[in-house]
Every structure is written in structure tokens, then in C-alpha cells.
Amino acid sequence: MFRNICLIGLPTSGKTRVGKLLFHHLNMGFIDTDDLMRQKYNREIPEMITQFGNKGFLDMETEIIQSLNHQNVVLATGGSVIHREESMNHIKNVLKSDVYHLFLSKKEFLERMNNSKGQEKANEIIMEKGQTFTDLYNERMKLYDDHSDFIIKACDKINLDSFKSYDYWSGPTGTKEPMIMYTNKDRYTNVGSGRCPPI
């Protein structure tokens, strides 16, 4: 049985873009939780954060995620999904998803947030008062690592075959290596779980 794929990561890491590419490449369904929130509440993300506050927004996001029960889908989540254990538990244990962190270096993240697209994204980010983008990066990196099964470098072009099931890489004719920086999946390594390297 193929597992669902869940994409997590910082704003501008490309979760929606990669999810749509995987929709075609792997012939899977595609769900974007931010789109579901816009449809249900008929508001844009910045408006929801302003009106309901950080906690209220996270409550709404959790409700959306816990309403999902799908198979053979790619799930693109909001960057804040890792702030709620119940959301991640549902993704892993109910949706049976392998969780991929689309990793950005701190330098790449700050550069992306300072360009025009990043500035547009800034209002869609759950941040505490006075928190900087560097603070946000440092806070979220450990959470993404704790919740991810695989980490894929998203600073450059991503090899979509990296998201194929493990059988693709371990079969008798498989000679390619997935472009995965490291894994927290015990069953995919001979030496146990690999932790996040120093950032």
C-alpha cells in the first residue's frame, strides 16, 4: 500500500509548487490546506490571522487537517502546521503520510523573504510580536526536523523521483540514489535514524 506524502517547510520553500508537480509526476491527488481554509472561511490567510489571532488561526488549521481522510494524495501544509501536535499526529497516524521537510538554508530563506514574493508571503506567517525571520527560522527548524521522515534540500531544483516509494530505490535494477539529505526513518537505513546535521 502506498503512503500519502505530506510536505512541510518554511514559507517560500515551495510546498504548493512541488505538490502540484508531484500530482502529475506520481499520479496522486493533491490537497493544499491553505486553499481549504480559504474555501471554508471565504477569507485570505492574512485576514484570518488578523481577525482570529495566531491561536485562532492554528485552531482553524487543525480543524481542517483533522477533517481529512484521503488516500494516494500529496498534502501541502501551511508552514505553521508543526506548531500543533494533534495536526501532525493526524497526518502521520490517520492519513498514513510520509512527511517530507523541504529544507532551506538560513541564507536562502532570508534571501527569499527579502524579495518581492517573500514580502507578499510575510503577512501569511504566524509570528510572535517582535519576532524576526531569523528567530522564526531558528524556532521552526527543530520542529520540522522532529516531525519529518525525510528532508529534501529545496534550495535548488528538486528531483521529483526522490518522493517515490522506497521500493523504487532498493529494487534489483535500482541504481539511482534519492536526493534526500538524511532520514529519520529507521527502516530506510542500516544505522538507525539519522538526525538533522548542524545548520
Q: What is the pLDDT along the chain (199 residues), one digit of tens a residue?
A: 578 999 999 999 999 999 999 999 999 999 999 999 999 999 999 999 999 999 999 999 999 999 999 999 999 999 999 999 999 999 999 999 999 999 999 999 999 999 877 777 888 899 999 999 999 999 999 999 999 999 999 988 888 988 886 544 444 444 444 455 555 544 333 333 344 433 3
SS (H, E, C) the chain: CCCEEEEECCCCCCHHHHHHHHHHHCCCEEEEHHHHHHHHHCCCHHHHHHHHHHHHHHHHHHHHHHCCCCCCEEEECCCCHHHCHHHHHHHHHHCCEEEEEEECCHHHHHHHHHCHHHHHHHHHCCCCCCCCHHHHHHHHHHHHHHHCCEEEECCCCCCHHHHCCHHHHHCCCCCCCCCCCEECCHHHCCCCCCCCCCC
193 inside domain? no
Give the structural domain span for 105: 4-188
197 inside domain? no
Please report, for the domain that includes residue 180, its CATH number: 3.40.50.300
72 inside domain? yes
165 inside domain? yes
pTM: 0.83
123 inside domain? yes
Number of domains comprising the chain:
1
198 inside domain? no
17 inside domain? yes
196 inside domain? no
